[in-house]
Amino acid sequence: MADHDPEYESLTKQINEHDPSSIHFEGDKKAFRIIGKDKSVHHVLGGGKSADVLLWRDKKRSAIVVGIATTIWMLFELFEYHLISLTCNILIFAFTALFLWSNLTSFINRPPPRIPEFRVSDETILRVVSMVRGEINRGVDIFRDIVVGGNLKKFLGQAI
């Protein structure tokens, strides 16, 4: 390069004059600091196991996370699988496994699996039904206003 740009020279000077305070030695490893000089990337990400997974320090867990994310992406994007279908298939598989486990325990002289009882109170059901009723009434009111008022702009706004 015959002529040098002053910005280029300034950048090369900054790169060549490496600031040793930006590198922190933890044992044998270098921990590069990006946010200030007092916090490492591991510390900024919260430390612990989640930061280890995100920074690929725990390669096995990181690979499992990437594999699960890729599988979920393939199911929903490539194979156009739906969340409701996936949930139903998982529930069917779980019920089948529990049924077989419960019936096979008599052959191997083991106690059947303990499945906790699940009860929904009347108050909870009434609250949910009341909320759903309120939303249905609100939707019917909007529909009535559109139909009776003949407001095309509001109709198109609600339809989209």
Average pLDDT across the chain, whole number: 81
| Amino acid residing at 85 | S
The predicted pLDDT at position 27 comes to 47
Residue among 51, 23, 57 at smallest CA distance from 37? 23
Give the residue extent of every domain in the chain. 121-160
> What residue type is 82 in one-letter code?
H
Are the C-beta atoms of 32 and 22 separated by less than 8 Å?
yes
DSSP 111: P
Q: What is the pLDDT of residues 39-79, one digit of tens each?
A: 788 888 888 888 899 899 999 999 999 999 999 999 899 98
Token pair 């156009």 is found at 80
Per mean pLDDT, which range of 17-21, 104-108, 111-115 is the poorest?
17-21
Residue 29 CA to residue 50 CA, distance in Å, equals 19
DSSP state of 26: E
- Average pLDDT of 8-23? 60
